[in-house]
Structure 1
Amino acid sequence: MTEPSFPRQFARTRRFRLGTPRLFGISPDGGRVTFVRSAGGDDPVERLWTLDVATGEERLVADPAALGIGAEDLPEEEKARRERSREQAGGIVAYATDAATRLAAFALSGRLYTVPLDDPAATATELPASGPVIDPRPDPSGTRVAYVSGGALRVIDLDGTDHLVAAPDGPDVVWGLAEHVAAEEMGRDRGYWWSPDGSRLLAARVDNSMLQRWYISDPSQPAAPPKVIAYPQAGTDNADVMLWLLGLDGSRVPVEWDRKAFEYVVSVYWGTALLIVVQSRDQRTARVLRVDPETGGTTEVREDRDPSWVDIAPGTPALTASGALVWTDAVGATYRLLVDGEPVTPAGLQVRAVLDVDGDTVLFAATAEPTETHLWMYSPEDGPRPVTSEPGVHEGRLGAGTLVVAARSLDHFGTRVTVHRDGRQVAEIASHAETPLLTPRVTLMRAGELELCTAVLLPSWHEPGAGKLPVLMDPYGGPGLQLVVAARTWNMLVAQWFAEQGFAVVVADGRGTPGRGPAWDRSVRGELAAPVLEDQVTALHAAADRYPDLDLSRVGIRGWSFGGFLAALAVLRRPDVFHAAVAGAPPTDQRLYDTYWKERYLGHPDEDPDAYTRNSIIHEAAGLTRPLMLIHGLADDNVIAAHTLRFSAALTAAARPHTVLPLTGVTHMTPQESIAENLLHLQLDFLKRSLGV
């Protein structure tokens, strides 16, 4: 029998995410917690569960296998939704409930199911929806379910009566779905919202007709037509997004705001009032608008401006029970929580997200130490107070006094989920995640004058002074993703696996990565290449100063997406430091990425074309003198394969040897088990050969 290997386990468990409870919801009385979880660490099928808070008893509510769902046949819109959210599991990977959390709705293979949550004897039943179902959501009363199908927004009663609410009025129009930049970059993954009384819906009408068309083909299937995608390339038109109030009685009211000046709809809140957040194309101005549900008219609640960009934190806007606006703002060097316009958190505590509002109490995630994220609560009576204190990374939900805490740390693997009432733990939700075959040996340190958060991982068998170790830098290094955290993440597990193969692995979060505050984030405005590369060099040398066994004459670097760009950049601009690189899905031409993300950091390409040239690497191909492996999924619709193919063409034209590994049928997240496993082996082999290990 073949001994199990870490790469195989890593791939089979979908980066150790399978079996982990997630997507928590809390009933209005605080007595029930809903969540999804698969049966084990190698089971890719998520199931819907509930937890009785009083007894701690878990109950399986819906199982795709019991419903006769085997291999999934997903609509294209659902495939796109999962790609945007980087969802690698199957089964019930999303669900929604009514206001009382008595009814849940979910889609399987494009079919619509509902299940009562308060009846232990009830089972899930299918509703006869019209066409493949996307994003089903019960109304607040739990008597009907809205969903999207074929670009139309529909509502079906529980007795099976189906109603068309809004149909596409053009071949490129869809109702009720998030456009590409909203789902990929803004964190808005939905396109419609029920009113609190269930009489109407606020829905996005998305017109993609002005977007350019890109064609993604599968060269291994020459008879198959290419996939056509409408892509908002930097400097080109965005989708035209309108919001409409759609009554179930057939009424239609457009929401009015200056859409020319504020073309981005970033977030929506519909509780005791209807609020929307809109943002200008340059992202330097954002407005919170109150919408009149009867007329569609809007009034400004607040406006925020920033010379670089305005950050809109996840979970905002929101309203407390007393009607105070919950918001965040960059105040000096700190992202602070604002309630009714006043900062209520201290300087130095970086607020990262608003997680829930329970009456007048706000649950939020915040960082004081950059490698840790903790849960905090704010109430007018008690002010801000920490909820978690153990070192690590924490997420949570709060409702009717019930608190769910999901904790990760360096002391244990996986996510520990506990449920609390009245300040004490009353239950723990079991994790079925598989235990990794290795344990990361992480040392956290600060590097250089900027105190760069850096992790060093050495082989478990290495004895100090016993010999020199080649070095592998393993960064992401760019905006939006933090790798150096006080938790046993899958990234650290992979880093430790490379360490066990004979490397000293260094992971560094440079300028622009989250957790350090507004000035840190904005330090890469206009410069996504030079400072982040400089920070990797600084971290490498600081690690070598602390660990003399690091061999700086043999330094490799690997990364994916922005990390892939950084890896290629490293061997191009600093071959004196970096001796080999593996660049996965690298954005080599900044002009080939989307509007919202790229224009935030580099501006509009028509206004600052030099910024795009400075931060692209295709024109530097002739300078390659080190071994370079390029990896790219040919089905990637986020960082399209043209980035690697054009770069490879430029390298070939300059007679620069390099390796290209094209992945047929693979998207940006490489979910296929065999590919995820073997990619680790192939990268290891390339790095060993290139560095003479």
Structure 2
Amino acid sequence: MRFTRFLTIIGFLVTTLVTAQNKQISLEEIWNGTFRTEGMQALHSMNNGKQYSVLNYDRTARTTSIDIYDYKTLKKVNTLLSSSDLPEIGAFFDYSFSKDESKILLTTKSEAVFRRSTLGEYYIYDRNSKKLIKLSDDLVQEPTFSPDGSKVAYGFQNNLYIKDLSSGAIKQFTFDGVKNSIINGITDWVYEEEFSFVRAFDWNADGNKIAFIRFDESNVPEFSMDVFGTGLYQTQQVFKYPKAGETNSNVSLHLYDLDTDKLSQLTVDKAYNDFYIPRLEWTKEANVLSVQFMNRHQNELDLWMIDVAQNSSKLVLAETDDAYIDVTFNLTFLKDNSFIWTSEKDGYNHIYHYSKDGQLINQVTNGNWEVTNYYGFNEKTNTIFYQSVENGSINRDVYSVKLNGKSKKRLTKRDGTNRASFSADFTYFINTHSSATSPQEYTLNDAKSGKLVKSIKDNDKLAKKLTDYKTSKKEFSTISVNGNELNMWMIKPADFDENKTYPLFMYQYSGPGSQQVANRWNGSNDYWYQHLAQQGYIVACVDGRGTGLKGAAFKKVTQNELGKYEVEDQIEAAKKLGALPYVDASRIGIWGWSYGGFMSSNALFKGNDVFKMAIAVAPVTSWRFYDTIYTERYMTTPQENPSGYDENSPINHVDKLKGDFLLIHGSGDDNVHLQNTMRMVEALVQANKQFDWMIYPDKNHGIYGGNTRLHLYNKMTDFIHKTLGDKREKSEEKEQIKSKIKG
């Protein structure tokens, strides 16, 4: 069986990590796709529960296809659709089905707006008539089928439209949309970034009503970025961005009735001031809409049911927290309109079952561990499927449990990170497993027992390829810091000698609820760390206080003090690691990106007796410069908490800089604005502190495109060698150069 062969290959990989590796991992290989893993693209379980579809790309023919596979045999049943049969379009790179799967929405062109939002060109393929029609001649947003598949609603230029697929008629039903002023049914920048959704409209079950959120951002301050491009003059991107303490969009809830062609505003029986609507979703009842309202501090969350036929509302659930409440996508309505909900109210994130009126029926899961994903509910067997870290906070497993909280079962057997995609009838699930020693493998499993049925796709070739390289094991452990056992990983040089001393390079992100110490396969940075280990560095990562999956108290201790306890933990961890006999305490560095850049800057300044160098990429340098939703969730407003904002801002600690500092940013970063770096630079200059810095023109928060990533990592690697490299070796190199010159 392939699964057994895969384990053999991994066993071979692990046993030969030190002895059989010769090749060095190069930066070029990291970024040219040499170590890319194979995956399954756009996986969709078909309604019959017996088959699934996958998007496949034929690189030779340059065509895409939607292929149907049988769960039981894993054999391809047929090709549902191929771009080679559609002369009207060149290819498509994404797809989605109508509810009855009679129609397919194809994405043929896409232009990024912000992190999650895109403008796209779309076509609808009718499987019965075999006809292909273009949704719109314009690039539109968030096209969504009506429940019966007869219509598609979408956003265009801040207004909402409906296309009737039979007649081809397009109906515009909002008319006040204006750029940087009014948005209908599509989220504004800060909602998109921090509440993680773009489509702010939803069809009801009967397909005759659409509820949507309207954003009035007229009074939100504007932010502008120069776009340098290739022309003689730069242009500007101007958009509404509410920084901490500033005015948010004024949001309101609206309803469009297709039968009467009327718009109306929906309200609830409570007066809210300065609030958010982070979620809306129709229930199983066609006239009952669920809406979540949240106060600006984000420590009160109300779930409302609005009966649009009766023009009435009912508050069914009200949660409060001393710190904040995380908004999720886990709300699920059952046939009787009771609902599944997840909450941290007992100190850990768990699953709860409530009646339609908001009465608690039972807490489904409980324990000192976190539920990390909710997969769905099988009504035939009364079974919930979910993912959790019950098997250790660095591992993730898939579980099943009855709705009454009994008969819990661990369905995945291998330690590491497991993710599931269930068949529509919950007979099977496709498990994606990886660990620090095992690249992604996709297997078919029985949903009742978790038993392996067959291996679908693995990365045997990549595993074999890596046996030729000089790599090191990622060692997981914990480290006792400031009264807490913190998760840690460490990578040592493959030829590690405990009698020698090595420079230490630390990585962290540290943002609230995040996790970097996880038992999963390599990302690009992991190969970079292997590259550094080959150069004689020890690389380590510590998840300090404020990070996730260890309970609400551990995560929320940083409330109102972002950058205080997290920095203390990194400094103390560096001291403890520096005390190890094989670590050179005079050569310790730290780096991070975004929140991690905020952290590495503070660590270097406040820990100037510990850290010799730091690299900060796209850092927040003052939370006064960042957006309302994220920042105020953890800090309240600057007006309420000025000391929390300023005492932990690295800008206010530049006078403490002693070591080497590299500051990097993209000028087109719409998320963490270049303003952060520019203000840091000015503070450093005025403090007469020398430093290195790099600006990547027109690059966003990810700093990529063309040769950019390779250039970035070359620059950081050179800086590490320059600042943490062995002084003795450098001295010998200088003497050799002098000898050559004299000769």
Q: Normalising by structure 2, report the TM-score.
A: 0.83
Match of 2:337 in 1: 323
Residue equivalent to 2:146: 139
Task: Give the whole-Å Cα distance in 2 for the aligned partners of 1:290 and 1:635.
Answer: 41
- The secondary structure found in structure 2 opposite 1:390 is coil
**Equivalent in the alignment of 2:245:** 235
Tell me the secondary structure at the aligned position of residue 105 of structure 1: strand
Match of 1:199 in 2: 208
Aligned to 1:163: 171
Other-structure match for 1:52:
70
Aligned partner of 1:408 in structure 2 is 434
Q: Distance in 1 between matches of 2:551 and 2:689?
A: 41
> What letter is aligned with 1:289?
W
**Residue 225 (structure 1) aligns with:** 235
Task: Specify the code of the residue in structure 1 equivalent to 2:69.
Answer: L
Picking from 359, 367, 383, the partner of 2:389 is 367
- Would the aligned equivalents of 2:27 and 2:710 in 1 still touch at CA under 8 Å? yes
What letter corresponds to residue 663 of structure 1 in structure 2? Y
Aligned AA (1:183) = E
Matched, 1:464 2:498: yes
Match of 1:210 in 2: 219
- CA 1:431–1:174: 2 relative to 1, 3 Å: farther
For residues 186-213 of structure 1, what are the alpha-carbon distances to aligned partners after superposition, in whole Å with 9 as ceiling and x for unaligned?
Answer: 2233212221222222222222212111
Do the aligned residues in 2 keep the contact of 1:97 with 1:137 (CA within 8 Å)? no
Evaluate the alpha carbon distance shift between residue 163 and residue 652 of structure 1 in structure 2; reply closer, same or farther with a 3 A threshold: same
Whether the 8 Å CA contact 1:21–1:429 is kept in 2: the answer is no
Partner of 1:270: 282
Q: CA RMSD in A?
A: 3.0
CA distance change for structure 1 residues 192 and 443 in 2, over 3 Å: closer, same or farther? same
SS at match of 2:408: strand
| 1:170-226 residue CA offsets vs partner (Å, 9 max, x unmatched) | 442222212223221122332122212222222222222121111110346561321
Q: SS where residue 438 of structure 2 aligns?
A: coil
For 1:320, the aligned partner's letter is L
Offset, 1:640: 0.6
Shift of 1:515: 0.7
The structure that has the greater radius of gyration is: 2
Closer, same or farther: CA 66–426 of 1 in aligned 2, 3 Å: farther
2:55–2:67 contact (8 Å) kept in structure 1: yes
Matched, 1:353 2:373: yes
Higher mean C-alpha displacement, 621-630 vs 107-116: 107-116
Runs of 5+ consecutive residues of structure 1 not aligned to the other structure: 73-90
Change (3 A) 1:511 1:176: same
Query: Is 1:641 matched with 2:670?
Result: no
3-state DSSP of counterpart to 2:517: coil
Structure 1 residue 387 displacement after superposition: 2.2
Q: 3-state SS of the aligned residue for 1:182?
A: helix
CA-to-aligned-CA distance 1:9-29 (integer Å, 9 cap, x gap): 433349947x42255432333
Output the CA distance in 2 between the equivalents of 1:442 and 1:291. Answer: 52
Distance verdict in 2 for CA 1:142–1:644, change over 3 Å: same
**CA distance in 2 between partners of 1:425 and 1:472 (Å):** 40
Corresponding position of 2:99: 99
Which amino acid letter does the alignment assign opposite residue 497 of structure 1? H
Report whether the alignment pairs 1:7 with 2:21.
no
Q: 2:493 touches 2:533 (CA, 8 Å); kept in 1?
A: yes
- Aligned CA distance change for structure 1 residues 35 and 511 (closer, same or farther; 3 Å): farther
Q: Which residue of 2 aligns with 1:674?
A: 707
Name the CA shift for 1:263/1:496 in 2 (closer, same or farther; >3 Å): same
Match of 1:598 in 2: 631
Q: Is the 8 A contact 1:371 1:485 kept in 2?
A: yes
Q: 1:10 to 1:168 in 2, by over 3 A?
A: farther
* Partner of residue 84, structure 1: none
What code does the residue aligned with 1:330 have?
E
Q: Paired residue for 1:77?
A: none
Q: 1:8 to 1:269 in 2, by over 3 A?
A: farther
Q: Is the 8 A contact 1:353 1:366 kept in 2?
A: yes
Q: Residue 39 of structure 1: CA displacement? A: 6.0
**Aligned-pair CA distance for 1:488:** 1.5
Q: Answer yes or no: is the 8 Å Cα contact 1:474–1:495 preserved in 2.
A: no
Asked whether the equivalents of residues 571 and 580 of structure 1 are also in contact (C-alpha less than 8 Å), the reply is: yes
Name the SS of the counterpart of 2:349 in structure 1: strand
Contact preservation (8 Å) 1:106, 1:135: no
User: What CA distance in whole angstroms lies between the structure 1 residues aligned with 2:672 and 2:503?
Assistant: 30
Query: Secondary structure at the residue paired with 2:566?
Result: helix
Distance 2:647 2:131 in 1: 55
1:483 aligns with 2:516: yes
Partner SS state of residue 377, structure 1: strand
Counterpart position of 1:535 = 569
Offset at residue 432 of structure 1 (A): 7.7
Aligned residue number for residue 441 of structure 1: 473
CA distance in 2 between partners of 1:521 and 1:45 (Å): 47
Partner residue of 2:718? Answer: 685
Does 1:28 find its partner at 2:47? Answer: yes
Residues 123 and 135 in structure 2, CA contact (< 8 A), matched pair in contact too: no
Q: Is the 1:26–1:101 Cα contact (8 Å) retained in structure 2? A: no
Give 2:264's aligned residue.
253
Q: 1:415-474 deviations in whole A, cap 9, x for unaligned?
A: 535354554444554368983755562100101141101000012232332x21111001
1:325 partner amino acid: F
- What is the rounded CA distance, in whole Å, between the counterparts of 2:432 and 2:485 in structure 1? 28
Q: Is the 8 A contact 1:53 1:427 kept in 2?
A: no
Q: Which residue of 1 aligns with 2:108?
A: 108
Q: Is the 8 A contact 1:456 1:543 kept in 2?
A: no
Task: State how far apart, in whole Å, the 2-side matches of 1:427 and 1:29 are.
Answer: 20
| CA positional deviation for 1:37 | 6.1
Percent identity between matched residues is 22
8 Å contact 1:14–1:671 — kept in the other structure? no
- Whether the 8 Å CA contact 2:228–2:698 is kept in 1: the answer is no
The answer to whether the 8 Å contact 2:369/2:549 transfers is: no
**Unaligned runs of at least 5 residues, structure 2:** 1-22, 110-119, 355-359, 727-743
The structural deviation recorded for 1:5 is 5.5
Q: Is the 8 A contact 2:163 2:169 kept in 1?
A: yes
Once residues 611 and 445 of structure 2 are traced to their aligned partners in structure 1, the CA distance between those partners, rounded to angstroms, is 47
Q: Please, which moves more after superposition, 234-243 or 604-613?
A: 234-243
Q: What's the offset of the Cα at 1:101?
A: 3.5
Give me the TM-score of the superposition, normalised by structure 1: 0.88
1:337-387 alpha-carbon deviations (Å, 9 max, x no partner): 111222121221312232323324322222221101222223236443322
What does the per-residue CA deviation read over 1:224-249, in whole Å, with 9 as the maximum and x for residues that have no partner? 32100110211011122222222223
Q: Distance in 1 between matches of 2:345 and 2:46?
A: 35
For 2:363 and 2:64, the matched residues in 1 are separated by 40
Aligned letter for 1:187? S
Q: How far did 1:169 drift?
A: 4.2
Q: Partner letter of residue 216 of structure 1?
A: M
Q: Cα–Cα, structure 1 residues 498 and 335, in superposed 2: closer, same or farther, change >3 Å?
A: same
Structure 2 letter corresponding to 1:454: M
Q: Partner of 1:154 in structure 2?
A: 161
1:24 to 1:517, Cα distance in 2 relative to 1, 3 A: farther
2:201/2:212 contact within 8 Å kept? yes
Shift of residue 47, structure 1, vs aligned partner: 6.7
Describe the shift of the 1:307–1:461 C-alpha distance in structure 2 as closer, same or farther (beyond 3 A). Answer: same
Aligned to 1:503: 537
